């Protein structure tokens, strides 16, 4: 296992220790021939008081997965689920997305 994969596993474990559910998966259901497309999404978060939930696209590179995990965790800290513009099928352009990106980028400084 690479150092980055080990670090990602460790961070995921620490997040789960504080009762946030984290799922990393790169395929649709159990079909290994249907990989999740990183051009469509890298992850998402559902902010909930009982069971906050983070999903990370496992088809993405390990560094990108780490950024996504940090970005989605920031959503939980700020108390906002990820926003999405259904008309344009793009992430919504708003301040919380920018702040979560900045928070996630701090891990690489």
**Model confidence over 9-62: pLDDT tens digits?**
999 999 999 999 999 999 987 877 889 988 888 999 999 999 999 999 999 999
Q: Which residues contact 19 (CB under 8 A, 6 or more apart)?
A: 51, 52
- How many other C-beta atoms are found inside a 10 Å radius of the C-beta of residue 51? 9
Whole-model pTM: value is: 0.84
User: How many structural domains comprise the chain?
Assistant: 1
- DSSP H helices, 1-109, are 3-17, 62-78, 95-105
Domain that holds residue 13: 3-108
CA distances to 6, 7, 21, 32, 34 from 45, in Å: 22, 21, 10, 23, 22
pLDDT attached to residue 74: 94
pLDDT exceeds cutoff 60 at 86:
no
pLDDT category at 88 given cuts 50, 70, 90 is low
pLDDT category at 82 given cuts 50, 70, 90 is confident
In 3D space, the residue among 14, 2, 1 whose CA is nearest the CA of residue 69 turns out to be 14
């Amino acid at each position: 296992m690479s150092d980055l994969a080990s670090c990602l596993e460790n961070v995921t474990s620490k997040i789960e220790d504080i009762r946030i559910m984290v799922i990393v998966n790169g395929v649709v259901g159990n079909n290994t021939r249907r990989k999740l497309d990183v051009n469509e999404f890298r992850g998402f978060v559902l902010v909930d008081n009982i069971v906050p939930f983070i999903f990370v696209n496992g088809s993405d590179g390990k560094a990108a997965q780490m950024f996504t995990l940090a970005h989605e965790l920031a959503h939980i800290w700020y108390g906002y689920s990820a926003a999405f513009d259904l008309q344009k099928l793009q992430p919504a352009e708003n301040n919380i997305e920018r702040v979560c990106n900045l928070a996630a980028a701090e891990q690489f400084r």
